[in-house]
């Protein structure tokens, strides 16, 4: 078979991580099929697909803007598929071909368009983006031969919403990257501590969007800043995708007189993340809208003690390897942070449960199950 993978929207974040892991493991288990990766100039720089049965095609036009990309995807991609004699198209970012019939497998990468309460909290740009994405996802799911979900929560809700038949859907979790492990180089660990001036800290890793609940976490930390060790800081790692919201967070930090206790680190190299997970006293994850949060899998794989939002699919992913809180109530978040910080036995137990749960996720299994779906959709 000749399989095309639509990577036009993958330029940063979890989408790039997912595709790079999928490419690598598909190349290891599948020598019989040929893969055509369709991307942009930006995507070509971050996607790693230099395997013998992989070919990368990148295009300038869809790099110009999201509108140009959508137009190109819907009206020119079909021609590229036909020209290259593709048997099946895999679209792992919600959107397949809408105006042309073609054997397509769609993966629901984001469930944000299906959460109206969350959308209402966004700025005008993201409200428009998510509403358009919902319309496009609706058309794509109805035309797809198979739909892949990356959490059971999403599978149940969206299958019910669209009245999808169970045999046309599959649940395939993301995997665990072996880069994330508690067995890290101790010398490099010391270098990371010095580089970022890290000592005792609570960690949150996420790109900055409003639904990621940074403000509630900051408020929660402000409630206990004088009740916990004064050396403990809150470290926020992630790139801002909403400058107005990010500035409001920094203003909140100043208003709560916590400039020296809360650190915004922006983006850090992916290979340095395991050291942050290993070094942190606690990993806190207050997000309110996720599908299959890779970050939680990464943190568990390093043995981080986890406190998490009690909104699904976080409990589905972590199960008993986390202490849960109501992400909309800073008081509840702060109480759970205090509870765990003051209980060393609980911290040690959470670390062990994290490592155990992380072993349930495998990129090899993700690739095998995805390949099975693709081959059956020709």
In this prediction, residue 121 carries a pLDDT of 75
Contact 168, 353 (CB under 8 A): no
17-26: average pLDDT: 94
Q: In which band, very low, low, confident or very high, does the pLDDT at 13 lie, cut at 50, 70 and 90?
A: confident
Q: Is 370 strand, coil or helix?
A: helix
- The DSSP string of 61-90 is GGGS-HHHHHHHHHHTHHHHHHHTT-SEEE
Please tell me the predicted confidence (pLDDT) of residue 82: 96
Q: Percent of the chain scored above 70 by pLDDT?
A: 100
Q: Is the pLDDT of residue 14 over 90?
A: no
Residue of 9 and 2 predicted with greater confidence = 2
Q: Is residue 35's pLDDT more than 80?
A: yes
For residue 230, give every residue at least 6 positions away whose Cβ sits within 8 Å of its Cβ, in sequence order, or none: none
The pLDDT value recorded for residue 162 is 87
Fold of 2-175+362-375: Rossmann fold (3.40.50)
Looking at the chain, the domain(s) classified CATH 3.40.50.2000 span 2-175+362-375, 186-358
- Whether the per-residue pLDDT at 346 is higher than 90: the answer is yes
The predicted model gives 166-180 an average pLDDT of 94
Mean pLDDT of all residues in 263-281: 94
Q: At residue 12, does pLDDT exceed 80?
A: no
pLDDT over threshold 80, residue 117: no
pLDDT band at 116 (very low <50, low <70, confident <90, very high): confident
| pLDDT of 15 strictly over 90 | no
**Among candidates 221, 331, 348, which has minimal Cα distance to 281?**
348
Task: Identify the pLDDT of residue 141.
Answer: 92
Residue, of 325 and 45, whose pLDDT is higher: 325
**CA pseudo-torsion sign 146, 151, 156, 158:** negative
What was the pLDDT predicted at 264? 96
DSSP-assigned states of every residue in 260-292: TTEEEEE---GGGHHHHHHH-SEEEE--S--SS
Q: List, for residues 72-95, the tens digit of each pLDDT value.
A: 999 999 999 999 999 999 999 999
Q: Is the pLDDT of residue 118 over 80?
A: no
234 band by pLDDT with thresholds 50, 70 and 90:
very high
Q: 186-358: what fold?
A: Rossmann fold (3.40.50)
């Amino acid at each position: 078979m000749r399989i095309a993978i639509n990577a036009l929207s993958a330029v940063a974040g979890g989408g790039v991580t997912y595709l790079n892991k999928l490419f690598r493991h598909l190349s290891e288990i599948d020598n019989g099929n040929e893969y055509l990766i369709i991307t942009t100039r930006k995507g070509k720089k971050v996607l790693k697909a230099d395997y013998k049965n992989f070919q990368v095609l990148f295009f300038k036009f869809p790099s110009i803007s999201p509108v140009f990309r959508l137009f190109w995807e819907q009206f020119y991609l079909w021609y590229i598929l036909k020209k290259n004699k593709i048997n099946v198209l895999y679209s792992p970012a919600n959107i397949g071909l809408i105006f042309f019939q073609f054997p397509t497998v769609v993966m629901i990468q984001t469930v944000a368009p299906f959460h109206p309460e969350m959308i209402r909290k966004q700025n005008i740009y993201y409200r428009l983006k998510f509403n358009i994405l919902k319309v496009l996802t609706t058309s794509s799911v109805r035309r797809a031969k198979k739909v892949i979900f990356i959490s059971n929560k999403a599978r149940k809700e969206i299958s019910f919403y669209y009245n999808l038949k169970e045999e046309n859907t599959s649940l395939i979790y993301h995997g665990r990257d072996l880069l994330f492990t508690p067995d890290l180089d101790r010398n490099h660990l010391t270098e990371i501590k010095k580089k970022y001036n890290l000592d005792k800290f609570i960690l949150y890793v996420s790109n900055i969007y409003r639904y990621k609940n940074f403000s509630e976490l900051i408020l929660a930390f402000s409630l206990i800043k004088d009740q916990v060790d004064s050396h403990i800081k809150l470290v926020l790692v992630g790139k801002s995708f909403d400058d107005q919201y990010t500035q409001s967070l920094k203003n909140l930090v100043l208003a709560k007189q916590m400039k020296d206790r809360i650190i915004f680190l922006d983006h850090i190299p992916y290979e340095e993340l395991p050291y942050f997970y290993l070094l942190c006293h606690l990993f806190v994850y207050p997000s309110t809208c996720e599908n299959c949060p890779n970050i939680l899998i990464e943190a568990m794989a390093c043995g981080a003690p986890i406190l998490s939002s009690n909104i699904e699919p976080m409990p589905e992913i972590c199960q008993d390897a986390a202490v849960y809180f109501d992400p909309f109530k800073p008081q509840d978040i702060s109480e759970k942070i205090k509870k765990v910080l003051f209980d060393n036995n609980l911290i040690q137990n959470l670390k062990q449960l994290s490592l155990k749960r992380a072993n349930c996720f495998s990129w090899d299994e993700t690739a095998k199950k995805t390949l099975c779906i693709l081959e059956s959709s020709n």
